[in-house]
């Protein structure tokens, strides 16, 4: 199964009332569940799908943006990784970074890409303010909930 076929399945799920999908092909097992196991999320969530593991595998990484956390009353917010994957600051090596230190961001602004299972996921800021620090190097692996950007709240 290739990326194009997986995207077609996700598109079909988005256009229909289908909430669960599972397929096993040539030793590869894919489970896709629309929504989250963590209860209700924002209706406008940028990533409404959750990849579930095959039996005996680790817990799933959600594809729903993580809520920003305030750090010890300092007035800073953090954009956190909503999934495990590889962090990229720009859409391609020849393009400029989505944001740099000093960039102003809005809640829906794309700040980076995280590649997970060869799918490029645009990550939104979910906060409003000014980027004061980029906490991850380009091309580095990131964990679920890991801080990516430090933002001074607007």
Express each pLDDT in 95-143 by its tens digit.
999 999 999 999 999 999 999 988 999 999 999 999 999 999 999 999 9
* Average pLDDT score over residue span 62-82: 63
- Return mean pLDDT, the chain: 76
Alpha-carbon distance of 95 to 88, in angstroms, equals 11
The domain in which residue 39 lies consists of: 3-52
Give the burial string for 70-93 (b: 16+ CB within 10 Å, else e).
Answer: eeeeeebbbbbbbbbbebbbeeee
Q: How many domains is the chain partitioned into structurally?
A: 2
Contact criterion met (CB below 8 Å) for 51 and 35: no
Residue 129 in domain: yes
Residue 28 pLDDT > 60 = yes
Query: In this structure, are 46 and 73 located in the same domain?
Result: no
Nearest CA to 82 among 55, 60, 102? 60
Residue 19 pLDDT > 50 = yes
Give the domain CATH number at 116. 2.40.50.100
Query: In this structure, are 39 and 75 located in the same domain?
Result: no
Sign of the dihedral defined by the CA atoms of residues 140, 75, 71, 79, in that order:
negative
Contact criterion met (CB below 8 Å) for 128 and 97: no
Residue 87 pLDDT > 70 = yes
């Amino acid at each position: 199964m290739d990326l194009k076929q997986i995207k077609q399945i996700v598109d079909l799920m988005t256009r229909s009332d289908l909430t669960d999908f599972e397929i096993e092909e040539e030793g590869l097992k894919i489970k896709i569940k629309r929504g989250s196991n963590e209860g209700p999320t924002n209706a406008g969530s940028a990533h409404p799908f959750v990849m579930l593991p095959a039996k005996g595998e680790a817990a799933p990484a959600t594809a729903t943006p993580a809520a920003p956390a305030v750090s010890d009353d300092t007035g800073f917010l953090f954009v956190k990784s909503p999934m495990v994957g590889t962090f990229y600051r720009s859409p391609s090596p020849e393009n400029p970074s989505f944001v740099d230190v000093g960039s102003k961001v809005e809640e829906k602004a794309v700040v980076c890409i995280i590649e997970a299972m060869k799918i490029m996921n645009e990550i939104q800021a979910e906060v409003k303010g000014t980027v004061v620090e980029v906490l991850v190097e380009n091309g580095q692996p990131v964990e679920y909930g890991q801080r990516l950007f430090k933002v001074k709240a607007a």
